Amino acid sequence: MVSTTDASEIGLDRLPPEAGPVVGKDRGASTGFLLSLPATLLILVVIVFPFAYVAGMSLYNEATGEFVGTANFRRVLSSTDFLPSVRVSLVWTISNLVIQTVCGLALGLFLNQRFRGRDAARTLFLVPFVVPTAVVALMFSWMVNSTFGVFNHLILTSGLSDTPINFLGDPRFALPTVVLINCWRWIPLVALIIFSILQGIPRSEYEAARVEGAGHWATFRFITFPYLGRSMTAIGLLGTLLTFNIFDLIWLLTAGGPVNRTKSLPVLIYEFAFGLQNLGAAAAASVLMFLMLLVFTLLYFQRRDFKVE
Amino acid sequence: MASSTPAPARSAAPVRNLGGAILRGLTLIVLLLIFMFPFYWMVATSVQTAEGLFSGVKIVPDTFTLANYQSVLQSDFVRINVRNSLLIATGTTLLTTLLALAASLGYLRYRYRGRRFFSRLVVLVYLFPTVLVLVPLYFVASRLGLLNNPFGLMAVHSVLALPLCLWILQSYLEGVPREPEEAAMVFGASRARAFRIATLPLAAPGILAAAAFAFILSWGEFMFAFIMGPDPARKTVPVALKDLFSSYAMDWGVVTAAGVAATIPVLLLFWLMAKYLAAGLAKGAFD
């Protein structure tokens, strides 16, 4: 950063400082606006306008173009698939978040220690996250294959079960299996985010705790944990919404089956639109899902009394 | 740190006792096994012959063949799908990097009306369920004849990549010293030129990281590619993989070889952005 004295000596005080001065209508302000305009427009065209459109679509019969009021919503709410899908979505989101937070915290704390190969390990752990979802689905479909899969080989040879388990085809195992595969993918990322928060905790806090004779647990409880907690509220919201919205992994592994046991709301919306070719119902289900997430977000902000900076 | 006092053993200190070191080593091995085994298994499967695969599960393969890779190379997968994906991912990368660079400059260097609105809008992309725009985008794209059009998919992928690219770039550019740019302007360079000759070279690692992320995202994106490119000649790599591994006449040797082929470009680019991914995500979450 340029200190003010140096700047004025060589005439740099006329330049906007780090974050730029609050200026009215000069050239600088319009340049900033123009620079961010293309990105803004693209987001509006791809996300915001289509969503406004979907809200409109939910009130019409897409095939005939006539206004049908709440008929699409009634159609969705009276569908025998809707409530089970809400349930699947809740189980999916909550179990993913719990497992990922617990395991991500453990892995993050582990990576926060110093040992040889830590940096290499951190890079390797990111690979599951960057690999295409279709590759993840492919690898696990093959590993959990009930005839030739390596998991069933291990289960049978170790005597855990004497019949092979059909992980993705058995209604009892399908959802837990998909949840665990998704956790496999996200835990390393959660761990690395926790790790980068841990690295940001000032050293002096730990020094002070040591001087006062705090043990490992007390240090964790009164320094590490509150720091993490503060940062995790923001990340928790992002994680909840991202997890709730996952469509591709579920669709690739089970397509919502067996007997709808993995049919979460995004999969249901997809089915309304492209399976049943009922765009109006799909639009209505989209609006309902949006309202659910909106209510959740508002409650979250209120309860956590979030500081919006 | 505290050199005058004999510091008690701390978890953050370098390994001192043997027991702790062994425990850490074992934990690391178990963790690597959990997170790396699926990749090993995919590669191990891809180099086995069909007889080898169906004669029972072997943790270390006892047959070796490159025939599966040969069939992948000669198939439509490389001729059509890899080509489509390379085109779309390259277009997405160029578009996203340019948009993100311009926007992050505008955001960092100027204060303007709507600056806050812009940063909120960006976060919205990740808070907003993308499955909700699937229906209208499909509908509009089919009306406008944009289905199977690579530019439609590039636009969608760019929006999906944009927020994290912006955060990576912003957090990187914030750390780039501004003195050279300001000095260049003192010597008469225009703002744009000063940025190009002084800041851009210093920001190169951040820009590469953002570009690598955009490419990886577009290369692997499934949902929109699946919906917006139903024509077999327009299918991207992830969509083709889905067809491969969910078909009934499955040849797992070939399927896993295709999976390896789809993973290689990601691994080649991934190290460019590995360092910045978590930092970018953290930045986005706090903004």
**Would you call A39 and B103 a contact, using CB atoms and an 8 Å cutoff?**
yes
HSE toward the beta carbon, residue B259, CA cutoff 13 A: 31
Domains and their CATH numbers in chain B: 71-286 (1.10.3720.10)
CB-based contacts of A263, cutoff 8 Å, min separation 6:
A81, A84, A85, A88, A256, A257, A271
Q: Any CB–CB contact under 8 A between B151 and chain A? A: no
Tokens of A126: 């990111």
Q: What residue of B is the nearest CA neighbor of A134? A: B238
| Per-residue model confidence as pLDDT tens digits over B99-114 | 999 998 888 888 887 7
Q: What residue of B is the nearest CA neighbor of A24? A: B112
Top-ranked range on mean pLDDT: pick from A259-268, B138-147, B227-236: A259-268
Query: What is the distance between the terminal CA atoms of chain B, rounded to a whole angstrom?
Result: 33
Of the partner residues A143, A283, A297, the one whose CB lies closest to the CB of residue B135: A283
Residue A49 pLDDT: 87
Partners of A67 in the β-ladder: A60
Tell me how far CA of residue A297 lies from CA of A240, A264, A306, in angstroms: 10, 19, 11
Of the partner residues A23, A57, A129, the one whose CB lies closest to the CB of residue B111: A23
Q: How far apart are CA A241 and CA B132, in angstroms?
A: 13
pLDDT band at A174; cut points 50, 70, 90: very high
Q: How far apart are CA B164 and CA B170, in angstroms?
A: 10
- CA-nearest of A181, A306, A178 to A254 is A178
| Per-residue model confidence as pLDDT tens digits over B20-56 | 888 888 999 999 999 999 999 999 999 998 888 888 7
A264 chain-B contacts, CB cut-off 8 A: none
**Would you call A241 and B263 a contact, using CB atoms and an 8 Å cutoff?**
no
Flag whether pLDDT at A25 surpasses 50. Answer: no
Of the partner residues B38, B114, B136, the one whose CB lies closest to the CB of residue A143: B38
Domains and their CATH numbers in chain A: 82-262 (1.10.3720.10)
Flag whether pLDDT at A27 surpasses 90. Answer: no
Tokens of A205: 């806090």
Match 């005058």 to its residue by tokens: B4
Percent of chain B with pLDDT over 90: 37
Do residues A197 and A101 touch, judged by C-beta distance below 8 A?
A: no
pTM over 0.80: yes
**Would you call B159 and A33 a contact, using CB atoms and an 8 Å cutoff?**
no
Average pLDDT, chain B: 85
| Per-residue model confidence as pLDDT tens digits over A86-130 | 999 999 999 999 999 999 999 999 988 888 888 888 888 989 999
| Per-residue model confidence as pLDDT tens digits over A126-161 | 899 999 999 999 999 999 988 888 999 888 888 888
Of the partner residues A30, A36, A130, the one whose CB lies closest to the CB of residue B103: A36
Residue B284 pLDDT: 64
Do residues A194 and A228 touch, judged by C-beta distance below 8 A?
A: yes
Residue of A3, A6, A43 for testing the chain B interface, max B β-carbons within 10 Å: A43
Match 């291990």 to its residue by tokens: A154
Interfacial B residues in 89-128 facing A (CB < 8 Å): 99-100, 102-103, 105-115, 118, 121-122, 124-128
Q: How far apart are CA A173 and CA A195, in angstroms?
A: 32
Flag whether pLDDT at A14 surpasses 50. Answer: no
Match 């509009």 to its residue by tokens: B140
Match 């189980």 to its residue by tokens: A91
Tokens of B249: 């006449």
| Per-residue model confidence as pLDDT tens digits over A54-65 | 888 889 887 787
Q: Any CB–CB contact under 8 A between B159 and chain A? A: yes
Q: What residue of B is the nearest CA neighbor of A188? A: B35
Tokens of A150: 């390596």
Tokens of A181: 């595969």
Q: Which of A66-75, A137-146, B16-25, B197-206 has the lowest mean pLDDT?
A: B16-25
- d(CA B73, nearest CA chain A) in Å: 18
A40 chain-B contacts, CB cut-off 8 A: 103, 118, 121
Residue of B23, B131, B166, B242 for testing the chain A interface, max A β-carbons within 10 Å: B131
Spell B176-200 as b/e; 16+ CB within 10 A means b: bebeebbebbeeebebeebbeebbe
Of the partner residues A115, A238, A248, the one whose CB lies closest to the CB of residue B127: A238
User: Residues B250-254: contacts with CB within 8 Å, 24+ apart?
Assistant: B251/B50, B251/B68, B252/A142, B252/A145, B252/A148, B252/B45, B252/B53, B253/B45, B253/B46, B253/B48, B253/B49, B253/B50, B253/B53, B253/B65, B253/B67, B253/B68, B254/B68, B254/B71, B254/B72, B254/B75
- d(CA B87, nearest CA chain A) in Å: 17
Do residues B251 and B193 touch, judged by C-beta distance below 8 A?
A: no
* DSSP H or E stretch at residue A110: helix A82-111
**Would you call B57 and A112 a contact, using CB atoms and an 8 Å cutoff?**
no
| Per-residue model confidence as pLDDT tens digits over B67-87 | 999 999 998 888 899 999 999
Match 């690579």 to its residue by tokens: B150
Q: Which ipTM score applies to this complex?
A: 0.87
Sign, CA dihedral B113-B116-B122-B124, equals negative
Match 């289960």 to its residue by tokens: A155
Sign, CA dihedral B216-B218-B224-B227, equals negative
Residue B59 pLDDT: 84
Residue B60 pLDDT: 86
What residue ranges in A107-220 does DSSP mark as E strands? none
